[in-house]
Amino acid sequence: MGKRDAGRSRRSFLKAAVAVGGTAALSACLERFDDEEPIPTGTDDPSSLPTGQHEWNDTLDRDEAGNVVLPEHHLLLYLSIRGDGSPTEDDRETVGAALGTIERAYERSNRGAIAEIGYSPAYFNRFETSLPESVDLPEPKTLSSIEDPTFDTQDALLHLTSDRGEALLAIEAAMFGEEGDRPDALNEISVSDRLGEVFTVADRRTGFIGPGLPAANQDIDGIPDGDPVPEASPLFMGFKAGFIGNQASESAVAIEAGPFAGGTTKHVSRIRQELDKWYPENDYETMVARMFSPELADRGAVEGVGENLGESNGITPEVFDRIREHAKEYGLVGHAEKAARANRDENGEPLLLRRHVESTDGDVAALHFPSYQREISAFDRVREAMNGADLTDMPQIQQRVNNGILRYIFTTHRGNFLVPPRSLRSLPTPTGD
Ligand code: HEM
């Protein structure tokens, strides 16, 4: 096997192991990657860590154009608190110590692991006091007339990510495994407090991203036969996403005032993809038109998976301001140009920080779509712009016809979370006391 093939098979193996989960998958990884480079350990100095749990970018890899490269494997553990009522001081200490262990065990990077915990409105309902006005965290709701999602109302969402899938499995096993069947150390750091003492795992979802992984995992529901997903694509639909020029900075999504200043809000949806229509129905140029903008397609602005775009998706105000003309001239409008209309602050800077990854949970092509923004309402406005309901007065555009990528994607779940600053991440009260 060549070096490239070996790398590809290793990454796919890890992807499959994370998807399956459990101690058997963990042992299989440890056996197979016995001679692998050790995973870099974390820090004993918590003051060296960023204020916001969502501040990943400084330590993540960058591509040639300076775009942030997300770690390849993701584990989303939706957690419920054991028992009713508000958590105790003991619970708080357990969670704080458990999260501290993960941080000491793994460097906060692609090669190490990142753990981030957010809390839902349902969690804050356990308390008599309400969240302050400085936090905009409504219950999840339906965001378009053509969807009927399940609302994720578990107490918390633990988001773990790493290039080393075995690290995610080890954390999961150490934190939630049964006694007698779980590691008592993480990367040689001994584990004394476990998240499983306070939480149960109500739902387990897995994700992945990175060139080659979608192509290697396209034999699932929602993707037609014939292996249409390009090898170079980090995502199932054939393009890369998350250009730095069209992403909000981590400080722009941080809450500015009140006890949770420095934290952020996170909306997470799960979106099923029906690419058995996307690939057969569209040639490459039409895909660019539907995903970005017909104007970009006309100019030949996008090549391949979009690597040539550099640090920006090319959707400038000059492009998205002409969206109605695009509908008339080309008979369709693009996904990115629609969304961009609501994704700019008064200085023209993006409002949302998107970190979406693919999923094959249940052997169905889907996307986990975490989006960070200062206020959840900013997400709602972008989603409204993406719905394009304001464009359906034109004969060419209908809700799911010629309307970006809406013909191909179906939202199945929505949840809202407050991701507190690191200092308040263990079972915070609404007032941060
Ligand atoms: C299967 C689902 C989706 C896929 C494959 C997808 C893919 C993409 C791609 C390839 C781009 C252009 C490159 C970039 O700027 O990142 C883009 C842009 C964008 N997408 Fe999506 N997207 C999906 C769903 C969504 C959803 C649900 C939202 C939120 C409501 C959203 C919001 C945006 C925004 C805000 C932009 C950037 C527009 C700008 O400000 O320039 N996308 N998307």
| Residue 27 domain flag | yes
321: tokens are 């301001």
Give φ, ψ of 370 to 5 degrees. -80, 130
The atom number, within ligand 1, closest to the CA of 235 reads 5
350: tokens are 């993006």
Q: Is the pLDDT of residue 1 over 60?
A: no
Among 8-12, 249-253, 258-262, which is the least confidently predicted range? 8-12
Residues lining ligand 1, Cβ inside 6 A: 235, 237, 239, 241-243, 246, 271, 273, 291-292, 313, 315, 335-336, 339-340, 343, 350, 352, 354, 367, 369, 382-383, 386, 409
Query: Distance between CA 197 and CA 81 in Å, rounded?
Result: 9
Report pLDDT digits (tens) over 289-335: 999 999 999 999 999 999 999 999 999 999 999 999 999 999 999 99
pLDDT of residue 234: 98
Query: Distance between CA 191 and CA 184 in Å, rounded?
Result: 5
Q: Which residue has the tokens 């109605």?
A: 324
| Residue 38 domain flag | yes
Q: Is the pLDDT of residue 4 over 70?
A: no
Report pLDDT digits (tens) over 105-150: 999 999 999 999 999 999 999 999 999 999 999 999 999 999 999 9
Out of 247, 292, 354, mutate this one to test ligand 1's pocket (max ligand atoms within 8 Å of CB): namely 354
pLDDT of residue 35: 76
Q: Is the pLDDT of residue 258 over 80?
A: yes
Q: What pLDDT band is residue 36 in, cutting at 50, 70 and 90?
A: confident
Q: Is the pLDDT of residue 76 over 70?
A: yes
The atom number, within ligand 1, closest to the CA of 312 reads 15
- Tell me how far the alpha carbon of residue 135 lies from the centroid of ligand 1, in angstroms: 25
| Residue 223 domain flag | no
Q: Which residue has the tokens 């809390």?
A: 119
- Tell me how far the alpha carbon of residue 297 lies from the centroid of ligand 1, in angstroms: 16
| Residue 310 domain flag | no
pLDDT of residue 2: 64
Closest CA to ligand 1's atom 9: 241
Report pLDDT digits (tens) over 353-371: 999 999 999 999 999 999 9
pLDDT of residue 111: 97
Query: Distance between CA 207 and CA 73 in Å, rounded?
Result: 6
Q: What is the DSSP string of 370-385?
A: EEEESSHHHHHHHHHH
Give φ, ψ of 341 to 5 degrees. -60, -30
| Residue 159 domain flag | yes
Number of residues written out for the chain: 433
Out of 296, 319, 356, mutate this one to test ligand 1's pocket (max ligand atoms within 8 Å of CB): namely 356
Give φ, ψ of 173 to 5 degrees. -65, -45
- CA distances from residue 313 to 276, 340, 353, 382, 403 in whole angstroms, order as listed: 25, 10, 14, 16, 18
| Residue 227 domain flag | no
Contact status, residue 247 vs residue 353, Cβ threshold 8 Å:
yes
Beta bridge partners of 68: 62
- Tell me how far the alpha carbon of residue 306 lies from the centroid of ligand 1, in angstroms: 13
Contact status, residue 373 vs residue 379, Cβ threshold 8 Å:
yes
Closest CA to ligand 1's atom 30: 383
- Report the pLDDT averaged over residues 167-192: 96
The domain containing residue 179 runs over which residues?
3-208
Query: Distance between CA 106 and CA 83 in Å, rounded?
Result: 31
Q: How many domains does the chain have?
A: 1
Q: Is the pLDDT of residue 215 over 90?
A: yes
- Tell me how far the alpha carbon of residue 177 lies from the centroid of ligand 1, in angstroms: 36
- Report the pLDDT averaged over residues 42-58: 96
Report pLDDT digits (tens) over 224-244: 999 999 999 999 999 999 999
pLDDT of residue 8: 77
Give φ, ψ of 33 to 5 degrees. -110, 35
| Residue 162 domain flag | yes
| Residue 111 domain flag | yes
The count of other CB atoms within 10 Å of the CB of residue 43 is 13
Q: pTM for this one?
A: 0.97
pLDDT of residue 304: 98
- Tell me how far the alpha carbon of residue 340 lies from the centroid of ligand 1, in angstroms: 9
Q: What is the DSSP string of 242-303?
A: --GGGS--TTTTS--SSTTTT-EEEEEEEEEE-HHHHHHH--HHHHHHHHT-HHHHHHT---
